[in-house]
Amino acid sequence: MKFISTLALLLLLSLKGFSQFHNDDVKKLKDQELLVALMDTTDKKQLEDRSFNNSLMFAMKNNWTYCKYKFITIDDIKAVAKSDPDTYILIPQEATIEVQRSHGNFSTYHYAHTYNLAIAKASDVKIKKEKNYTNFSVPRERVILQSMKNGDDELSVFMSVDDLNYYCARYGAEKEERKAIDDARRPKDNTLLQKKTLYIDKAVLAEGVTEADIKENYTYAYKLTTSDEILQAIKQKKDDVAFLDIAPSGVSKAGLLFVKSCADLSTILYTDCNVDKGIDKKKIKDLVILANRTKK
């Protein structure tokens, strides 16, 4: 029962986009044009981050359906903030989450780096230009919706936009419509994983986990690969391939591990995970247990 309660709490956090969402703003956005901020293309740091702008433009084209949108530059943000401060903008921002670790009768805290896409009003977006890069930020209480990922690679950006589109659809809908939207997102048949090849990004594995460990604990087809190859499988809509999507909760080291289909990004199953630690041998074994569990 405790395991189920924990999953329910973490799923609720993921549905909220890890922020204090504002339903009225999300509903207003439906009839407006969302401005999507691109990083400065002369930005040295951005150029080293796998062409972030191309990743964001591709993700918006393929995953965004909630409302109209257009891309803008850093200079555009400053102008819009003055002329129309209530305009909604999607920005990339680096972030840190506070992670608590218990040690008997006391706890220690440290900060884990995360990456997110956030929607906020133009007047709340802060722009800080450093020597070699530009950073966007929004005060936490002013964020309307956000989606956190552990990286800023192309796959993370792609899945962040998909999450944000879902959050908008959910919180922009009337209360009686939300159940249908949630049901469409929830797993239908855990055993589908048995028939797919699970692509596992090497970068999400816990330190010390080897392919021999995976082979010992995962009894179905798998492939140890990279986020680039996973994204290619998604682009090709491979129905026989699934992948892991990690969602930090934003409040602790706990998060959710989703197994999704490359064909349509539907969730096959999900469980809790330690975002800071990564996917260990036990979690790999848990996926097999869940894949063998049929719905009643």
pLDDT in tens, 27-56: 999 999 999 988 765 555 554 545 778 888
Q: What local confidence, expressed as pLDDT, does residue 247 receive?
A: 81
Percent of the chain with pLDDT over 90: 47
The whole-angstrom separation of Cα 283 and Cα 272 is: 9
Q: Give 205-222 pLDDT, tens digit per residue.
A: 998 999 999 999 999 999
Q: Which of 184, 204, 237 is the last residue of a domain?
A: 184
Whether residue 111 is predicted with pLDDT greater than 90 in this model: the reply is no
Q: Is residue 87 part of a domain?
A: yes
Q: Are both 54 and 134 inside the same structural domain?
A: yes
Q: How confident is the model at residue 92 (pLDDT cuts 50, 70, 90)?
A: confident
Query: Among 36-40, 69-73, 180-184, 223-227, where is mean pLDDT lowest?
Result: 36-40
Residues 6 or more apart in contact with residue 203 via CB below 8 angstroms? 151, 226, 227
Q: Which of 184, 212, 247 is the last residue of a domain?
A: 184
The token pair at 224 is: 């140890």
Tell me the CA distances in angstroms from 68 to 60, 99, 101, 165, one per residue in order.
10, 37, 43, 12
Q: What is the mean pLDDT of residues 97-113?
A: 43
Q: Are both 40 and 163 inside the same structural domain?
A: yes
Tell me the CA distances in angstroms from 203 to 47, 195, 227, 246, one per residue in order.
21, 24, 8, 11
Q: What local confidence, expressed as pLDDT, does residue 80 receive?
A: 93
Residue corresponding to tokens 């009003």: 121
The whole-angstrom separation of Cα 296 and Cα 283 is: 23
Query: Among 46-55, 87-96, 104-113, 204-213, where is mean pLDDT lowest?
Result: 104-113
Residues 6 or more apart in contact with residue 113 via CB below 8 angstroms? 94, 95, 96, 150
Whether residue 17 is predicted with pLDDT greater than 50 in this model: the reply is no
Tell me the CA distances in angstroms from 180 to 95, 100, 173, 236, one per residue in order.
32, 35, 10, 28
State the pairing for strand pair 126-129/68-72.
unpaired
The whole-angstrom separation of Cα 273 and Cα 243 is: 15
pTM, full prediction: 0.81
Q: What is the mean pLDDT of residues 125-131?
A: 76
Q: What local confidence, expressed as pLDDT, does residue 18 receive?
A: 42
**Order of strands across the sheet that contains 197-201:** 222-225, 197-201, 241-248, 254-261, 267-274
Q: Is residue 4 part of a domain?
A: no
Q: What is the mean pLDDT of residues 4-27?
A: 56
Q: What local confidence, expressed as pLDDT, does residue 250 receive?
A: 56
Q: Is residue 12 part of a domain?
A: no
Q: How confident is the model at residue 103 (pLDDT cuts 50, 70, 90)?
A: very low
Q: What is the mean pLDDT of residues 71-93?
A: 89
Q: Are both 125 and 224 inside the same structural domain?
A: no
| Total tally of structural domains belonging to the chain | 2
Percent of the chain with pLDDT over 70: 76
At residue 240's C-alpha, the angle toward residues 234 and 244, to 5°, is 55
Q: Which domain holds residue 197?
A: 187-291
Q: What local confidence, expressed as pLDDT, does residue 102 receive?
A: 44
Q: What is the mean pLDDT of residues 72-88?
A: 90
Q: Are both 178 and 215 inside the same structural domain?
A: no
Q: Are both 278 and 246 inside the same structural domain?
A: yes
Q: What is the mean pLDDT of residues 73-93?
A: 89
Whether residue 178 is predicted with pLDDT greater than 60 in this model: the reply is yes
Q: How confident is the model at residue 120 (pLDDT cuts 50, 70, 90)?
A: very high
Q: Is residue 1 part of a domain?
A: no
Q: Are both 127 and 23 inside the same structural domain?
A: yes
Which residues pair with residue 109 across a beta bridge? Answer: 100
Is pLDDT larger for residue 61 or for residue 142? Answer: 61
Q: Is residue 173 part of a domain?
A: yes
Q: What local confidence, expressed as pLDDT, does residue 258 receive?
A: 93
Q: Which of 126, 159, 184 is the last residue of a domain?
A: 184
Q: What is the mean pLDDT of residues 103-119?
A: 55
State the pairing for strand pair 134-137/126-129.
antiparallel
One-character DSSP codes across 138-155? --GGG--EEEEES--SHH
Q: Are both 195 and 174 inside the same structural domain?
A: no
Distance between alpha carbon 262 and the CA centroid of its chain, in Å? 15
Q: How confident is the model at residue 64 (pLDDT cuts 50, 70, 90)?
A: very high
SS3 (DSSP) at 189: coil
SS3 (DSSP) at 225: strand
Q: Are both 154 and 126 inside the same structural domain?
A: yes
Q: What local confidence, expressed as pLDDT, does residue 223 receive?
A: 97
Q: Is residue 127 part of a domain?
A: yes
